[in-house]
Amino acid sequence: MRWLISLFMVGFCGFLIAGMSEEEFKQAEKEMNSAISEKRTSVAKDLIAKIASDDSGRAVQALVTAFKKGISDFDIVTAIRDGLLRMTSKSAKDAMFAQLKGGDEKVKVMILDALSGMSGSDVTQAIIGALRDSSEIVAVSAARALGNRSERESIEPLIDELEKAEKAKRTRIQYEINIALEKITGKSGLEASIDWRNWWSTHKDKPLGGKQEEIPFTPNPLERKKLETTSFFGIEIRSKRVIFIIDVSGSMIVADPPPENWREETEKKLRTTVVDEKEREKRMKEAEEQMKKWEEERKRIYRVKKELIKTIKTLSKDVKFNIIAFSDNIQCWKKSLTEATEANRNNAIAWVEKLQADGLTWTDVAIEEAFKDKEVDTIVLLTDGAPTHAGGEAKPEWDGHQDSRALIAHILEWVRKENLFRKITIHTLGFISANFEFLKKLSAENNGKFEEIK
């Protein structure tokens, strides 16, 4: 009995040290909300950290209330998210899980962003539940959280939810779940839930992430719910609401010599994408003819226009798209996303064919223009240089031009703020003279892919 009393006293004293009295807590909460209202951000952040250190259900509730007050301040929002992330108690977790069931959309997104950095089966199950949320943004946030956590126990529930998304025709959720599964398993090339299920049935007892032994399976094609996709320079586009941002600055007139291994790479690509042998031979001959005229055929602007036109032709009718061409002038094909009817596709192709390369690389302005469209969920950015408003000589120590480093930092920070609750996917493509580090970072931070154009 004596040891039980001693254990109780240790726990009680620990609570007093770790937590705050009711009066202290209410005072800290009052001061935090005042600091947020008065835009004393530094003071507010310190008080947010103090509240978070209470690691309790009441702390979660206080921070959610503060979040609603300071939702327009990125620093406040991220401080609250980080505060939630540091909580580990059962009461704090339970309060967060409750918010996922009854909170508003942005609260749920913020909670999911915090949970993505937390461990535990209870956390996994709560995030999986959010995949079923009626809000697309919440479901997207849940899929990304599971992908970031990369826990094995998420795989089967993700496959189950992928099947449900297929039946409900939630195209974007299907895409996001596929990305999450690829991150967790290290396996790519699958798409339909039946394919994932068959693959997982033969790999669930094997290590993930390494080279997998492929065991063939032949799913019933009638059961498959394959996503309609197109591609742009090798990046698969599954979105139904996509904007292409295309660099048409002066350097896009440059013709890049063909890579030394172009023949091997072309043959490899054709072997994996074209089944018919005669068709492969035909396309190989076409590639050989193009390489003979590489000084014209491999001009960047020519290649981009040719590839973009091919992509536009393959867009399905239920897709809405737009094109933004940028240099030191922003040209938009349309004012907003437009349905990919045959007439609109033909109109877009005619518009693309007229594009000319000239001017500087105002990448920041082009991205901001794309974000003005409230429907877009995917952006594809293609460029051959670093952002610049100054031009002139480009040097490695400037990460491009003299103003490029500052512009890159501005773009990354601006997108972090603007995309916090929109979850727009950003894919990036770059020619050899582009700033690959910037493009990789921009795509990685926004659940996209980067591709070098060779």
Q: For residue 257, how many C-alpha atoms fall within 13 Å in the half-sphere facing its CB?
A: 3
**Alpha helices, H only, 38-170:** 41-52, 57-69, 74-85, 90-102, 105-115, 121-130, 136-149, 155-168
Give the span between the Cα atoms of 93 and 96, in whole angstroms: 5
pLDDT (0 to 100) of residue 62: 97
Q: Name the pLDDT band for 167 (thresholds 50, 70, 90).
A: very high
pLDDT digits 0-9 by tens, 381-409: 999 999 999 998 888 888 899 999 999 99
Give the span between the Cα atoms of 210 and 187, in whole angstroms: 9
- Looking only at the bridges linking them, the beta strands covering 320-326 and 330-332 are antiparallel
State which H helix or E strand residue 288 sits in.
Answer: helix 277-292
pLDDT (0 to 100) of residue 214: 44
Task: Identify the three-state secondary structure at position 299.
Answer: strand
pLDDT at 190 over 90: no
Q: CB atoms < 10 A from the CB of 446, how many?
A: 21
pLDDT at 2 over 60: no
Instruction: Please report, to the nearest 10 degrees, the dihedral formed by the alpha carbons of residues 213, 216, 222, 225 taken in order.
Output: 10
Give the span between the Cα atoms of 386 and 360, in whole angstroms: 10
Give the span between the Cα atoms of 119 and 131, in whole angstroms: 18
pLDDT (0 to 100) of residue 185: 93
Rounded (10°) angle between helices 90-102 and 121-130: 10
Q: How does 102-122 read in b/e, with b if 16+ C-beta sit within 10 Å? A: ebeebbbbbbbbbbbebeeee
pLDDT (0 to 100) of residue 267: 81
Domains along the sequence of the chain with CATH: 18-103 (no CATH), 116-205 (1.25.10), 230-256+298-452 (3.40.50.410)
Q: Which own/partner contact pairs does 122-125 have at CB distance under 8 Å and 24+ positions apart?
A: 122/93, 122/97, 123/93, 123/149, 124/149, 124/151, 124/153, 124/154
pLDDT digits 0-9 by tens, 215-224: 444 444 444 4
pLDDT digits 0-9 by tens, 268-321: 878 877 778 888 888 888 877 777 666 677 899 999 999 999 999 999 999 999
pLDDT digits 0-9 by tens, 8-32: 343 433 443 457 899 999 999 999 9
Minimum mean pLDDT range among 209-213, 243-247, 419-423: 209-213
Mean pLDDT across the chain: 89
Phi, psi of 297 (to 5 degrees): -65, -30
The residues, any chain, with a CB within 8 Å of residue 328's CB and separated by 6 or more, are: 249, 359, 360, 361, 362, 389
Q: Give me the mean pLDDT over the 117-131 stretch.
A: 94
Q: What is the DSSP string of 204-236?
A: TTS-SSSPPPP------TTT--PPP-EEETTEE
- By C-alpha distance, which of 24, 102, 31 is closest to 61? 102
State which H helix or E strand residue 123 sits in.
Answer: helix 121-130
pLDDT digits 0-9 by tens, 43-78: 999 999 999 999 999 999 999 999 999 999 999 999
pLDDT at 442 over 80: yes
pLDDT at 333 over 70: yes
- Percent of the chain whose pLDDT exceeds 90: 73
The residue with greater pLDDT, 261 or 132, is 132
Query: What pTM was estimated for this model as a whole?
Result: 0.85
Q: Name the pLDDT band for 227 (thresholds 50, 70, 90).
A: low
pLDDT (0 to 100) of residue 295: 64
pLDDT (0 to 100) of residue 213: 42
- Percent of the chain whose pLDDT exceeds 70: 90
Whether 238 contacts 175, CB under 8 Å: yes
Phi, psi of 325 (to 5 degrees): -100, 135
Give the span between the Cα atoms of 300 and 249, in whole angstroms: 10
Q: Give me the mean pLDDT over the 77-104 stretch.
A: 95
pLDDT (0 to 100) of residue 163: 95
**DSSP structure class, residue 395:** B
**DSSP structure class, residue 53:** T
Give the span between the Cα atoms of 378 and 227, in whole angstroms: 16
pLDDT at 201 over 50: yes
Give the span between the Cα atoms of 179 and 187, in whole angstroms: 10
Q: Give me the mean pLDDT over the 122-151 stretch.
A: 94
